[in-house]
Amino acid sequence: MPIVTANKAELYYEAHGEGPALVFAHGGGGNAAIWYQQVPHFVDRYRVITFDHRGFGRSSAAADDVRADHFGDDMVRILDDASVERAVIVAQSMGGWTAILTAIAHPDRVAGVVMGNTPGPVMTPEIAEARASIEARVTSLGGLAGLAVSADLPERDPAKAFLYAQISGFNPGYPLDTEKLMVTVGDEVLARLDVPIIMIVTDGDALLPAPALRSAAPALNAKVYEITGSGHSPYFEKPDEFNAIVDRFLVETGW
């Protein structure tokens, strides 16, 4: 699979299928492999691209260079290498920064954005409150995987909980600097966004609760969909419902 060079990083990506491009940007607990329930669903209609963010999975970068202000340019490098002019980006958690920062800096390359359990670079008082305790909670649980799925998933579906931890374990595991990853941009910059955006939230998100995420929707001019019975990763826990929302968005945007 292709490796492209970006600013102080080697980026791994995969491209499957033919048609309009659909790019999946994973969160801090995942990598390209985490989308195993999305690629087969969309691949017969779209060119599906998954990738490892810099410093995750098979993409190499020094810890100091794993920062959100590289993510937009990284995305464009991948699109260029894959000969993709425009794509819809489906983003989960950390991937929301990739999607929105790409849409801000390269609006001609982004046809739409699905924001899964993420505010991206939007800041509100509710998001600030949620973010203030993230690092401490992740540390107390020994890693992001403990907050990335529902607390009862290991009991309800032990095989799936084990698989999440195994996929997450492909990442290097050095501490993530949330200050470098959770950058914010001002309302005046967000106001220039001119792409269709939706948000997906869940009732069991222990990392970024639904009320906090909903507070970001006005700044993104985004319609919000809620999935019940899932933690922070509905694409993983409730793939049928997650995929159906993405399907609807793609139809509504003519993609």
Question: pLDDT tens digit string along 183-213?
Answer: 899 889 999 999 999 999 999 998 899 999 9
pLDDT at position 64 is: 86
pLDDT at position 228 is: 97
pLDDT at position 252 is: 96
CATH class of 3-250: alpha beta
**Residue 140 in this model has a pLDDT that exceeds 70:** no
pTM of the model: 0.94
User: Domains of the chain: which residue ranges?
Assistant: 3-250
- 9-16 and 3-6 strand pairing: antiparallel
pLDDT at position 143 is: 55
**Residue 137 in this model has a pLDDT that exceeds 90:** no
Q: Which residue has the higher pLDDT, 179 or 248?
A: 248
The model's confidence at residue 172, banded by pLDDT at 50, 70 and 90, is confident
Question: pLDDT tens digit string along 97-111?
Answer: 999 999 999 999 999
Question: pLDDT tens digit string along 8-64?
Answer: 899 999 999 999 999 999 999 999 999 999 999 999 999 999 999 999 999 999 888
